[in-house]
Amino acid sequence: MRQRQRLLLRGGYVDRMYFEFAPSKLVGKYVLDATFRAHETWSFDCDPHWVDLERTDNISEGTRWPGPRQLDQMGDRYVSAGRGKNCSPEQPDAWIEFNDNPDESDENLASTVRSFADGKISRLTLMLRAKDETDATAWKRFEDNATLKVTYVPRPGVPTSVGVIPGDGTSGYCKTSSSDPLVVTRKDPMVQARVQTRTQPKSGEDKGSLQAEFWMERKQDDGAWDKVWSGYRPDSGWDPDGTLEKMRTTDRADGGLYRYKARTQSHWAYSGKSGDLFSSYSSWCYLKIDSTAPKAPQITAGKPYTECQPNQCVGMGGPGVSGTFSVKPNAADTDITGYRWRLLTTTAANTKQSAGARVTLNVTPPLSGTQVLSVEAKDVRNRWGTPAEFTFAVAPTAGPVGRWHFADGAPGSGVTKAVDSATEGTRHDATLYDEAGTGWSTFGRRGDADYSLWLNDSSATSGYAATSTAAVNTQDSFTVSTWAYLTDSTENRVVLTEPGEDGSGFTLYYSSTYKKWIFNRTDKDRDDPTYIRSFANAQNPPLKVWTHLAGVFDTKGDTDKSNDTIQLFVNGRPQGDPVVLSKAAAGYEPWTANRGLQFGRSKVGGTYGEYFHGRIDETALWQRVLTADEIRTEARLMGSEAPPNELVAMWDASAAKGTEITEGTSYPAAAMKLSSTGATLNEDDNALLLDGTSGYASTTGPVLDESGSFTASARVRLDSAKLSGKPIGYEAQVTGQRTGTESSWALWVTKPAEDTYRWRFTRTSVDGTGKATQSASVPGEENAELDTWVQVTGTFDAQEAWEWTDPDDPEKTETRYGKVHLYVGDSDQESLDRAGFTAEQQGTGELALGRGTGGGSTAHYLPGAVEELRIWAGAMSAEQIRSQVLDAGPLENS
């Protein structure tokens, strides 16, 4: 258990000891028992006296006597130790243990630690004190090395790999639309699910005693669903985390429509008792039994890919490299008219159809590694059948030909070279020019220890960096990627360009005319060229935020200029369709830029200008087309165990006084000002106190490019007395960013029923009138803790993309982006909602603590207190939330 000790608080001659614990090692655990141990080294006399163990509010550097509020009794002990030979019998130093006494209902250590492990309490602070502090003979001394010993069992997680094996194959499928079910040709299909603990067990940790529970229902003639089958695997005993469980159903009715789901069961036994815990169920998988439907077709590979063998899978080709596959009917089928197919690493939007009994498919894998081609046959009755699968490996392709991290020097270091750290081809280091307009910034997209290239924030206007020679051949396919932090939009601001004699082979920039990000090419290297542009979808991108930009020039690998295209990507999302260059400019010719790569300026008519104002970071070039999946990976800044993040705003009410909360980072967000009524900065609580009626604090946002990934976290305490007076259905906003008549993102607490409160994190998209059009929401799983500090965190992963299918029209699909997560403490709240967004969403206007906008009204006042709000660019993982949000380390283990 990780532990933090704090010094004694003094008031007169009375001492109290506080021990504060972080939940790192308890995440995903169900606590069965807990024991607090403190080492007593001295007592006033040899007679035992009562010592109380109390749970209190958390402590901080601002805590003063008499200390934080006492919340609950954990236990008491009647003891004396540490007098040594002064007593008879001798009383040596001793460890004093506090463990729940079943005969005393007011001892709540185990249940409190269980809530702590479940994330309901962000930090656990325990206090040792004499029960009677007025009795000097009750005084004792304890070392500051107390420990918390916990007995637990892993909590079960929602199983993965949930699906149905439709025929005699080995792979499971899950179709989530009842109008487009999986066609199963066996009456007794095999179902599968991979059992999981909620968090990945570390080396040496208990991997759980788990079972998979399977559940199947059939749709009746009246439209109702009735259970028809269930089962468990293993049927006796238990399996560890990660086991793929499979079970064949009993015979089902031919022609029936079914749905299937699964959950993980976790078993425990302790101190003569035993019990079971269950995860939430997975999403429904829909299937239709049709024993006469087409069987799995036969697939044969052409070039360059080959089928994986049981012990050998050789990578060939590469991402973006097309391969051929021949498909013919199963020997049992004589009436096949066509096929539909896709790679299982892609979304349903990539499903394609080919007519004919025998076809040759041209398949282009988007990523390296193992790929699975899935093909279904269609017969003359327009019935789709059981899919066949062909597994092959895709070799990695060439890496970047240029990569600049811009972490070469600290501000004021005098360093003027940005090193190209790529390994492909020749290196192209960049030199910083114009000392007054260039330098290094502590704003870095990879976090605290990172830097970026600083350009022209002050009165200087001509700072830039450049390589001495061209870094990429602009006549052949290439991809450019970078992070940009734009501070001024009054003029065109160029992030990257590679020029020729008169114009530029490409330019990635902000246009003050179109008020959009743009990636362009010119038809020729001439003084008065035709500009061919790929536009961002959204106008007026926010300033002073980090945005990921990428541009792709694609020659399709041939010399036919008529099919050359360009396309812009913003935060990993393609902007519009690829632009065909020859259609946009009749005189287009692919040409090679022969000057150095320019960071922060352009070249027009032979003259340099359009200097960038802001920061540039993490720039890379490839001499090939990156697929959309690869660009999303680049936008995540992968390369480490988890994508890095950057703290871009922080309001700490615990250190604030007066009528505003100052912003604590180097980024330019403004202070939050308190409302004229209902909000106070309380020095005793070290927090912003809110009355739930009119109190709030606000500033003008946004502080993020919300079409990218981000994390928002608040430390909040709910007021039980004030919440109890709110009506059922009440929604209070902890924090959020307004957009029109809604909140673009928000952390909430809701009251769905009497004495029931739930945390919630939402993202909302609005139309031109401010009306909500799409939303995504994650609710808390359990009742929110009241009258204590809880850390609630919402994350938005903008790079996650999938295909949404209209449940009423399976032929209607659209690509959606973004997934929301809610963490209570560091416990990821399970949600099966994958509702994302078809368009970029950006909030503007009020960013607030304690009130928000929703359902067309601005109110939703919070009854309680807020200590801090922090916002990061980048979607954090659970481990990052533990280490960065909850400040769990570096701490001692015990």
DSSP assignment string, 405-459? ---S--TTS---EE-B---SSS---EEEE-TTTEEEES--TT-TT--EEEE--SS
Residues pairing with 748 in the sheet: 733, 760
Residue 4 pLDDT:
34
Whole-angstrom Cα distance, residue 735 to residue 843? 13
Look over the chain and give the mean of its residue pLDDT values, rounded to a whole number. Answer: 90
Residue 133 pLDDT:
84
Whole-angstrom Cα distance, residue 766 to residue 751? 25
Residue 119 pLDDT:
81
> pLDDT tier at 136 (50, 70, 90 boundaries)?
confident
* Cα–Cα distances in angstroms (integers) from residue 170 to residues 163, 227, 384, 391, 842, in the given order: 11, 26, 19, 12, 44
Helix, strand, coil percentages in the chain from 3-state DSSP, rounded to 5: 5, 50, 45
Asked if 644 and 663 count as a contact pair (C-beta separation under 8 A), the reply is no
| Averaged pLDDT for residues 44-54 | 93
Asked if 285 and 174 count as a contact pair (C-beta separation under 8 A), the reply is yes
pLDDT greater than 60 at residue 147 = yes
Residues pairing with 203 in the sheet: none
Task: Report residue 55: phi and psi, to 5°.
Answer: -90, 135
Residue 894 pLDDT:
25
Which amino acid does the sequence have at 139?
A: W
| Averaged pLDDT for residues 502-527 | 95
Q: What are the structure tokens assigned to 595, written together? A: 């000057």
Whole-angstrom Cα distance, residue 673 to residue 690? 13
| Averaged pLDDT for residues 469-474 | 94
Residue 5 pLDDT:
35
Distant-in-sequence, close-in-space partners of 161: CB < 8 Å, separation ≥ 6: 172, 192, 193, 194, 244
Residue 889 pLDDT:
37
* Cα–Cα distances in angstroms (integers) from residue 892 to residues 20, 24, 109, 145, 878, in the given order: 12, 11, 22, 10, 20
| Averaged pLDDT for residues 676-702 | 93
pLDDT greater than 70 at residue 887 = no
Total residue length of the chain: 894
> pLDDT, tens digit, for every residue of 154-189?
999 999 999 999 888 788 889 888 888 999 999 999
> pLDDT, tens digit, for every residue of 794-852?
999 998 877 776 666 666 777 888 889 999 987 888 776 666 788 889 999 999 999 99
Whole-angstrom Cα distance, residue 650 to residue 58? 20
Whole-angstrom Cα distance, residue 752 to residue 757? 7
Per DSSP, the three-state class of 561 is helix
| Averaged pLDDT for residues 107-132 | 88
> pLDDT, tens digit, for every residue of 370-409?
999 999 999 999 999 989 989 999 998 889 999 999 999 9
The sign one gets for the Cα dihedral 115, 121, 122, 128 is negative
Whole-angstrom Cα distance, residue 477 to residue 560? 12
> pLDDT tier at 10 (50, 70, 90 boundaries)?
very low
> Residue 364 CA to chain centroid, in angstroms?
28
Residue 11 pLDDT:
43
Which amino acid does the sequence have at 65?
A: W
Residue 807 pLDDT:
66
Task: Report residue 6: phi and psi, to 5°.
Answer: -120, 155
Return the residue matching tokens 């000057």.
Answer: 595
pLDDT greater than 50 at residue 458 = yes
Task: Report residue 39: phi and psi, to 5°.
Answer: -95, 110
pLDDT greater than 70 at residue 640 = no
DSSP readout, 181-225?
A: PEEE-SSS-EEEEEEEESSPPPTTS----EEEEEEEEEE-TTS-E
Whole-angstrom Cα distance, residue 722 to residue 705? 35
| Averaged pLDDT for residues 725-732 | 96
Asked if 164 and 173 count as a contact pair (C-beta separation under 8 A), the reply is yes
Share of the chain above pLDDT 70, in %: 95
Residue 870 pLDDT:
97
Whole-angstrom Cα distance, residue 511 to residue 867? 40
Residues pairing with 3 in the sheet: 21, 892
Give the per-residue SS3 of 638-695.
Answer: CCCCCCCCEEEEEEEHHHCCCCEECECCCCCCCCEEECCCCEEEECCCCEEEEECCCC
Q: What is the DSSP letter of 852?
A: E
* Domains of the chain, CATH where assigned: 2-154 (2.60.120), 156-289 (2.60.40.10), 298-385 (2.60.40), 469-635 (2.60.120.200), 647-885 (2.60.120.200)
Q: Which long-range contacts (CB under 8 A, 24 or more apart) does 527-530 make?
A: 527/502, 527/503, 527/605, 527/606, 528/605, 529/502, 529/503, 530/584, 530/585, 530/587, 530/588
Asked if 732 and 849 count as a contact pair (C-beta separation under 8 A), the reply is no
Asked if 77 and 98 count as a contact pair (C-beta separation under 8 A), the reply is yes
pLDDT greater than 80 at residue 573 = yes
Per DSSP, the three-state class of 292 is coil
| Averaged pLDDT for residues 300-323 | 90
Q: What are the structure tokens assigned to 597, written together? A: 């790569």
* Cα–Cα distances in angstroms (integers) from residue 779 to residues 123, 706, 759, 852, in the given order: 21, 21, 6, 17
Residue 123 pLDDT:
82
User: Over the Cα atoms of the chain, what is R_g?
Assistant: 31
Residue 305 pLDDT:
96
Q: Among 58-72, 323-337, 415-429, 661-675, which is the least confidently predicted range?
A: 58-72
pLDDT greater than 50 at residue 579 = yes
CB atoms within 10 A of CB 296: 23
* Cα–Cα distances in angstroms (integers) from residue 657 to residues 653, 681, 684, 686, in the given order: 8, 6, 12, 9
Whole-angstrom Cα distance, residue 184 to residue 260? 13
Q: Which long-range contacts (CB under 8 A, 24 or more apart) does 803-807 make?
A: 803/347, 803/348, 803/349, 803/350, 804/834, 804/835, 804/836, 805/176, 805/177, 805/180, 805/348, 807/177, 807/178, 807/179
| Averaged pLDDT for residues 103-108 | 83
CB atoms within 10 A of CB 639: 10
DSSP readout, 568-631?
A: EEETTEE-SSPEEHHHH-TT-------S--EES-EEETTEEE----EEEEEEEEESSPPPHHHH
Whole-angstrom Cα distance, residue 51 to residue 42? 13
Residue 835 pLDDT:
67
From 443, 847, 867, select the one nearest 648 (Cα to Cα).
443
Residue 23 pLDDT:
77
Residue 891 pLDDT:
29
| Averaged pLDDT for residues 763-778 | 85
Whole-angstrom Cα distance, residue 173 to residue 653? 50
Which amino acid does the sequence have at 326?
A: S
Q: What are the structure tokens assigned to 126, written together? A: 């325990």
Instruction: Give the β-pairing of 182-184 and 285-289.
Output: parallel
| Averaged pLDDT for residues 195-221 | 90
Widest Cα–Cα separation across the chain: 105
> pLDDT, tens digit, for every residue of 475-500?
999 999 999 999 999 999 999 999 99
